[in-house]
Chain A
Amino acid sequence: MNKVFAQIEWSLLTPETTIIAGIVLLLLMDLLLPASISRRWFGLIGLASVLGSLAFVISQLPLKPAEILFGTYRLDPMSLVFKLLFLTSTALILLVAMDRKKADKTDRYIAEEYILMLSALLGAMFLASSVDVITLFIGLELLSISSYILVGMRKHERLATEAAWKYVIYGGVSSAFFLYGYSFLYGLSGTTNLFALGQRLAEVVQSTQSDLFIVAGLCLMLVGFAFKISLAPFHMWSPDVYQGASSPVASFLAVVSKAAGILFLIRFLLIAMYPLLRSEVWGENMMWVLAILAAVSMIVGNTVALRQQNVKRILAYSGIAQAGYLFIIFPSLQSNLIFVSVSFYLVVYMLMTIGAFAIVHVVSKDTGNDGLTSFDGLYRRSPALAMAMTLFLFSLAGIPLTAGFIGKVSLSINAFASSHLWLLLSTLFVTTVISYYYYFRIVQRMFVGKATSDQKVSVSIFPALAILLVVLGTIGFGIMPDILLSKLETVKWGYGLIPLEGIQQLKN
């Protein structure tokens, strides 16, 4: 046993270990430091461990695909890109979260908040590095359970407690759906490894000529995925939860949690289900299901948002619609190109969502609520914030000069290049136009509405830095998208979808 352990290349795990070290350090310090000492600077430790981890991930470049722990943990281009995404988003969100009210009621749990955010991140990172259902699921649950508590952190607030409660139940049910679905597949295949699963399932279909259980299993699992990604009609938790959670946590759910769900789905569909998807009938039907999920999400997200009065709820519905946009790429599951578009859009989505939530955080801290009215006259109180928010909303709406526009263009081009999903693209364009309406409502309030006070909105240094970075990214990728696109195009996405031996063969 010892020998086996010694052979494992533990160094591959350095990014994860750094996060764990950060968690342990925070735990110990919280225990050992006397209660009288403020813990407000703990965020810096969290940030340091995230940045450290980021540095280690970057140091793993140029990448040599590898697998340890009996194939459950692997390092491939896909996992690396998603880890970078998770780490960058968490770093930005931590910056925003460090801006806290004086004598906030949650100050007592400040260490817990950072610890949980790091552990959620850890879950996402494990998920990114896994092609085994067990580890994938454990990563997902670590992410989910940490998020449940994060949402309920502000337990003095009724909405937060309610949201956390709903989130736990809905999340639990979804996990149950997921596991129940997987149990069918396990019963048929007897394996947890995605590659083996794919092969066995294909064999099962060939030998028995029946795939009803596979369909049942897949549908059940889709509920679990759709919950994580908040696709309609499995979205109903997200407005309530986003509203109840603090803004940084909401943005964490909107970005990291959603991206993790998408990655899981990509791996699952394209590895375990690939042999089946390639068969004509199956593939065609599956595409329709995914297309309908995407269309329903776009329609529901964009129309229900019209009637919302709370900015976080609007952003939640907008997030549902954005998930729908991202999903238009799935029905055309073919080429390397879809990964370029999806990952580019995820980066863009990360920037604009974190930015928007950061501003909601700053503004609601100032006005004490996060209704639409809190944005009234923001332009006169704080022109820079209002302009930044306008930029993020325009980017979410997909207006030129912003990264959101390029993201949408690249998604649509690739969807066009590889399929004929006119219906889906028309839905995309039409709902985009509808979405202008509610994004503009916020903009209008900021520029036109009467402010309740004349005081400047105070922004402390950390969130200001986060907002600045995000603004730069949103404009930068909007005007010169090639900086990122060309990088993403060189990534060998396919390596994330084949076994390690396959990669080595390809290389030789």
Chain B
Amino acid sequence: MMFTWAWVYPLFPLIAFVLLIALRDVMKKKLAVIVSLIGIGVSFGFAVYLTWMGIFQQSVIQTTKYQWFSIAGKPLYLDFMLEPLNIVMIFLVSLVSLLVQIYSMGYMKGDARITTFYAYLSLFTSSMLGLVISANLLQIYFFWELVGLCSFLLVGFWYFKPEAKEAAKKAFIITRIGDIGLLIAIFMIFQKVGSFDLRVIQHAVDSGVLTGGALTTVAILIFVGAVGKSGQFPLHTWLPDAMEGPTPVSALIHAATMVAAGVYLVGNLFFLFEGSEVALTTVAYIGGFTALFAATIAVTQNDIKRVLAYSTVSQLGFMMLGMGVGSVYASSFHLLMHGFFKALLFLAAGAVIVALHHEQDIRKMGGLWKQSKWLSIPFLIGCLSISGIPPFSGFFSKDEILYAIQLSGKKDLLAIGLLTTFFTAFYMFRLFYLVFAKKSRGDQKVHSISRSMKVSLAVLAVFSIVGGFFSFPTTSANAETITQITKLQGHAPLWLIGSAVGASLLGILLATFLYVWRQGSADGLAKRLSWLYQVSYRKYWIDELYQMMFVSSLKAVAWFLNGFDRFVVGGIVRFVGWGTMSIGRLGSMMQNGQIQTYVLVSLIAFLILFVSLAFGRLIG
């Protein structure tokens, strides 16, 4: 089947963005919301059609390319691909974006800048849709940066909060560090292969043009980019801070857009990783470490959104782990399922926050179960799903990843996977019990939640329950594709399923024991294990470490260079020139001695130039 208009997906939200920004001051707020909804709605409509054609009808979808510009005599194309992975991503992104936008109608009601908010959401969706259909590295990078920019805008949306401002900046700068890796990888590939086109690159990998050390380097550098975007250790610190943005934005970032981009990138460029054992092992172990590490942090956090944020970091680590053991299938499946239940959890958490008058500390919550079924049931569904309890969606995808790990034969990673499952179930149900069980700790009246919020929650809840029954589409065998997605051979053995569910149940049981049956005993435990508790609560002091290592050192470098520019060089020079100056007293008010400095610096630089060139030539 020929589908020549892949570009429609990002187009409609983009049009909505342009309209909203241009007519920001004249457009009525209601109308702005409607325009934005239409934009994403149309894209979603196309996505459903595409899913029907591509997944259920199993047709291979061709796209066309358009020349964008040419550099160095080589034409660069705007090139799209619609393979199963792309189709699934389009579906996920447009669905979650649509629901988040519907939800925001209620959540952001009354915000003075709601038009701007919707404009940013539209641009965010548009860039992410553009990213997931790009078949050209430069184009991918283009959208990759745009996604980063949008998340900066949205995380910092409430810029009058200093924390939001800081968080936005942090998100932008830290993900940029990863982007350097990606950019270098892109240029390395270009140098070796001479093209940005994924098909050409894949061909080069297959035919052995790009192999060995170069392939490993490229793959690891690309992974560095994914680490930044997907909040993997050690670049994960921005993600929990990004919670300062409005909750619908958190849902969007965590479920479908920003962080999904990293996992998607690894999946989409898997042919690069496949050829390098080192790269795959790196991915697997970084992912595994992040999964466990973030899960242990989530255990002690007290902000409802932070717990969820660390759970995202952990789950993304889990997906990376799946990629690392070689299964794009399992990881993408989990990415999709995670998109459903994490969006659900975040939107439900947002509703909880609204219901409790913007309280986010879970120690001050409680007893919501009785007060609002609309909050508690979706949240419970999300918790069961992320914990991997059958038959909820998370069970199926988590199981696939564990099975993939088992197939790879890495026992240590399997242990990490199971341990993460245990911790995940524990912290999720800790959260659940603290928020919903027992008596209300605050005595405020609960806010009612609006209908638009209920709609979104309901739809996501349904997907979280039944999602797992639809198997993830695999690449049809005879199609020439970039991403080869194949199902795992056979089925997970019963003992594996049993131990996975067992680990979850154990986690839930422990949470129930500590937070329901013997309330208060958790505090005692925390005291007895105060050292461990502190390590987790302080998030392993990673932030502090970075502050010390990077921010301070960068500032020091700037300070140093500035000082160097002005004072050290100036000082030396002034010392040298002091004699001259004092004799002539020419340093009038206007000159204040500095121009001499400048010229002398030039002279010194000249001498260095001359000496190095003259000597370099002699040595050479």
Interface residues of A (CB under 8 A from B): 161-162, 165-166, 169-170, 173-174, 177, 211-212, 215-216, 218-220, 222-223, 227, 233-234, 236-237, 240, 281-282, 284-286, 288-289, 299-300, 303-304, 306-307, 337, 340-341, 383, 399-401, 405-406, 409-410, 412-414, 416-417, 425-426, 429-430, 433-434, 436-437, 440, 444, 447-448, 480-482, 485-486, 489
Contacts and interface: CB of A to CB of B under 8 A. Distances in A.
Contacts of A416: 187, 190-191
A239 B163 CA distance: 33
21 contacts: A166-B594, A170-B602, A211-B617, A223-B602, A236-B602, A285-B616, A289-B616, A306-B558, A307-B559, A337-B73, A400-B143, A401-B146, A414-B71, A416-B187, A429-B183, A433-B176, A433-B177, A433-B179, A444-B169, A448-B156, A485-B70
Interface stretch (B203-211, B297-305, B604-612): B604-612
A285 B602 contact: no
B601 interface: yes
A286 B602 contact: no
Contacts of A240: 594
Contact of B145 (A166, A399, A485): A399
Contact of A281 (B24, B184, B595, B617): B617
A241 to B, nearest CB: 11
B594 A289 contact: no
Contacts of A237: 595, 598
A237 B68 CA distance: 41
Nearest to B596: A169
Q: B143, B145, B555, B598: which has the most chain A beta carbons within 10 Å? A: B598
Contact of B73 (A233, A430, A489): A489
Nearest to B67: A482
A276 to B, nearest CB: 11
Contact of A219 (B71, B559, B609): B609
Interface of B: 24, 67-73, 138, 141-143, 145-146, 149, 156, 159-160, 165, 169, 172-173, 176-177, 179-180, 183-184, 187, 190-191, 554-555, 557-559, 561-562, 565, 590-592, 594-595, 597-599, 601-602, 604-606, 609-610, 612-614, 616-617, 620
Given A162-B592, A222-B606, A405-B142, 13 more contacts: A161-B590, A165-B591, A166-B598, A216-B610, A281-B620, A285-B617, A285-B620, A289-B616, A304-B565, A337-B73, A414-B71, A417-B72, A429-B184
Contact of B172 (A337, A401, A425, A436): A436
Contact of A289 (B138, B557, B601, B609): B609
Contacts of B159: 444, 447-448
Given A236-B565, A413-B72, A485-B69, A215 B617 contact: yes
A486 B260 CA distance: 36
B205 to A, nearest CB: 19
Contacts of A413: 71-72, 187, 190
Contacts, number: 167
A437 B602 contact: no
Given A300-B565, A416-B190, A173 B599 contact: yes
Contact of B184 (A286, A426, A489): A426
B598 A307 contact: no
Contacts of B554: 306, 434
B617 A282 contact: yes
Contacts of B24: 383
Contacts of B616: 285, 288-289
A286 to B, nearest CB: 7
A489 B70 CA distance: 9
Contact of B598 (A216, A236, A300): A236
A234 B605 contact: yes
Contacts of B562: 303-304, 307
A372 to B, nearest CB: 15
Contact of B173 (A169, A227, A433): A433
Contact of A236 (B165, B555, B557, B601): B601
Contacts of A340: 71-72
Contacts of A341: 71
A58 B180 CA distance: 41
| Residue of B72, B169, B554, B620 contacting most chain A CB atoms (<10 Å) | B72
A289 B169 contact: no
Contacts of A406: 69
Given A170-B599, A307-B559, A437-B173, A448 B71 contact: no
Nearest to A414: B72
B69 A481 contact: yes
Nearest to A300: B561
A462 B143 CA distance: 35
Contacts of B177: 433
Contacts of B609: 219, 222-223, 289
Given A337-B73, A399-B145, A430 B180 contact: yes
B176 A409 contact: no
A307 B73 CA distance: 41
A417 B193 CA distance: 11
Contacts of B558: 303-304, 306-307
B277 to A, nearest CB: 25
A215 B613 contact: yes
A433 B180 contact: yes
B70 A409 contact: no
Given A412-B187, A425-B187, A448-B160, A400 B146 contact: yes
Contacts of B614: 212, 215-216
Given A173-B599, A429-B184, A409 B160 contact: no
Nearest to A479: B68
Given A170-B595, A434-B554, A219 B169 contact: no
Contacts of A173: 599, 602
Contact of A174 (B68, B602, B610): B602
A169 B599 contact: yes
B204 to A, nearest CB: 16
B149 A399 contact: yes
B22 to A, nearest CB: 11
A214 to B, nearest CB: 10
A399 B149 CA distance: 9
Nearest to A437: B173
Given A161-B590, A481-B69, A304 B617 contact: no
A129 B609 CA distance: 30
Contacts of A409: 71, 138
B90 to A, nearest CB: 21
B187 A400 contact: no
B606 A220 contact: yes
A236 B160 CA distance: 37
